[in-house]
Amino acid sequence: MNRFFGWGARLGAVFNENKGGPWGSGGGSGSGGDGGGPRNPWGQPPRKRRPAGTSGNVTSLDDFLKKSRERFGGGRFPTGDGKPYWLYGLGIFLILWLLFTSIHRIGPEERGVITRFGNYAGTMGPGIGLTFPAPIDSVQKVDVEEIRTIDIGSTDASSENLILTGDQNIIDLAYSVRWNIKEPQLYLFQIANPEETIREVAESAMRAVVAGVSLDDAIGSGRSDIEQRVAQVMQQLLDDYRAGIDVQGVAIKQSDPPAAVNDAFKEVSAAQQQAQSYLNDARSYALQLTAKAQGEAAAFDKVYEEYRLAPEVTQRRMYYETMEKVLSRVDKTIIEAPGVTPYLPLPEIQRRTQQGTSQ
């Protein structure tokens, strides 16, 4: 008992404020009393010591401990009713610890990956899950529903993400990849940097696919086909890595010729418009002509039907009607001398008519 307490006191000395500075006399608590001396580097007078506690050589920590011991029941750990407060504290702490580290609430979009001493021990579904407490089991929550997006290239005019097509042309492509986590344990344990991996795989897959199509397909009709094939290639690669990732889809946001050659591409669409307008003109001409022909033919048919009923009369009627119309509007001169070709002062006639009308 004594031996033990002696050790305790020596230990206690470590916690004591070292009377007389760091290089002061080490034997403060052991021998008691003297404390500072001439060896003190700063020559602090020993008077500066704190006032001693209950007994001359007991330090403040000793003092405190002793007092607490007394408060907790005379230095004994009592059994039964009078348990010391810190035991209660420890108990409560342990209970809270158990509660917080062994009960896990997993949200509906999450999965909890349990590792027991680091070893994968299963995946918890949504709801409340129980595990062993903290140092044994640990749970990592992973959101498996969230669709994450990675953008590659941008639709800004300032930056270009140039890709070679199969016919050795160049396009400026911007696209995004949507993915989510399929198997959380694979996602956590299999690949060092999943996001970066997906980005690289996407870029590589996109370039491989675009390298197999022509420029016209890449900027036009082939887009959705490219999207599908890239998603397929990516899924294949990620499955090969066992990355636990599901590629939901690839969306091409922009697929244009590079800015440097854009004018030439605009020329093509201008030519297409121009050609279209040529065709439209021709078609409208054709429509007009056909309609006119049909109309005239129909009119002739009607008159002809009439004519057939009474050819002689109809012909004469038409002749006179037309002549009437024609001759009533024009100047007429009738020359009565047969066999003579007279000199006709035509300008004279005109002048006369003009005078006639003016009068």
Tell me: does residue 150 bind other proteins (CB under 8 A): no
Looking at the Cβ atoms of 119 and 355, the one nearer to other proteins is 119
Q: How far is the CB of 265 from other proteins (least distance, A)?
A: 6
| CA separation for the pair 19, 23 (Å, rounded) | 9
Looking at the Cβ atoms of 42 and 117, the one nearer to other proteins is 117
Looking at the Cβ atoms of 23 and 189, the one nearer to other proteins is 189
User: What are the backbone angles phi and psi of residue 125, rounded to the nearest 5°?
Assistant: -85, 180
Q: How far is the CB of 230 from other proteins (least distance, A)?
A: 13
Alpha-carbon Rg for the chain, nearest whole angstrom, is 54
Q: How far is the CB of 326 from other proteins (least distance, A)?
A: 4
Q: How far is the CB of 251 from other proteins (least distance, A)?
A: 20
| CA separation for the pair 296, 81 (Å, rounded) | 124
Tell me how far CA of residue 167 lies from CA of 185, 214, 221, in angstroms. 43, 5, 16
Looking at the Cβ atoms of 40 and 115, the one nearer to other proteins is 115
Q: Of residues 220-279, which lie at the interface with other proteins (CB under 8 A)?
A: 237, 240-241, 257-258, 260-261, 263-265, 267-268, 270-272, 274-276, 278-279
Tell me: does residue 303 bind other proteins (CB under 8 A): yes
Q: Which of 59, 165, 235, 255 binds other proteins (CB under 8 A)?
A: 165
Q: Do strands 137-143 and 110-116 pair parallel, antiparallel, or not at all (unpaired)?
A: antiparallel
Nearest CA among 264, 181, 171, 268 for reference residue 226: 171
Q: Of residues 305-334, which lie at the interface with other proteins (CB under 8 A)?
A: 307, 311, 315, 318-320, 322-323, 325-327, 329-334
Q: Of residues 339-358, which lie at the interface with other proteins (CB under 8 A)?
A: 344, 346, 349-350
Tell me: does residue 134 bind other proteins (CB under 8 A): no
| CA separation for the pair 201, 355 (Å, rounded) | 99
Q: Left if phi > 0, otherwise alpha if psi is -120 to 50, otherwise beta: which for 117? A: left
Q: Are 333 and 344 in contact (CB under 8 A)?
A: yes
* Run of H or E residues at 175: strand 170-181
Q: Of residues 38-77, which lie at the interface with other proteins (CB under 8 A)?
A: 65, 69, 75-77
Q: Left if phi > 0, otherwise alpha if psi is -120 to 50, otherwise beta: which for 250? A: beta
Buried/exposed code over 193-206 (b: 16+ C-beta within 10 A; e: otherwise)? ebeebbeebbbebb
Tell me: does residue 8 bind other proteins (CB under 8 A): yes
Q: How far is the CB of 39 from other proteins (least distance, A)?
A: 28
| CA separation for the pair 257, 263 (Å, rounded) | 10
Q: How far is the CB of 336 from other proteins (least distance, A)?
A: 6
Q: Which of 192, 343, 357, 359 binds other proteins (CB under 8 A)?
A: 192
Question: Which residues are CB-neighbours of 22 under 8 A, at least 6 positions away?
Answer: none
Query: First CA to last CA across the chain, in angstroms?
Result: 161
Q: How far is the CB of 130 from other proteins (least distance, A)?
A: 18
Tell me: does residue 217 bind other proteins (CB under 8 A): no
Tell me: does residue 296 bind other proteins (CB under 8 A): yes
Looking at the Cβ atoms of 248 and 307, the one nearer to other proteins is 307
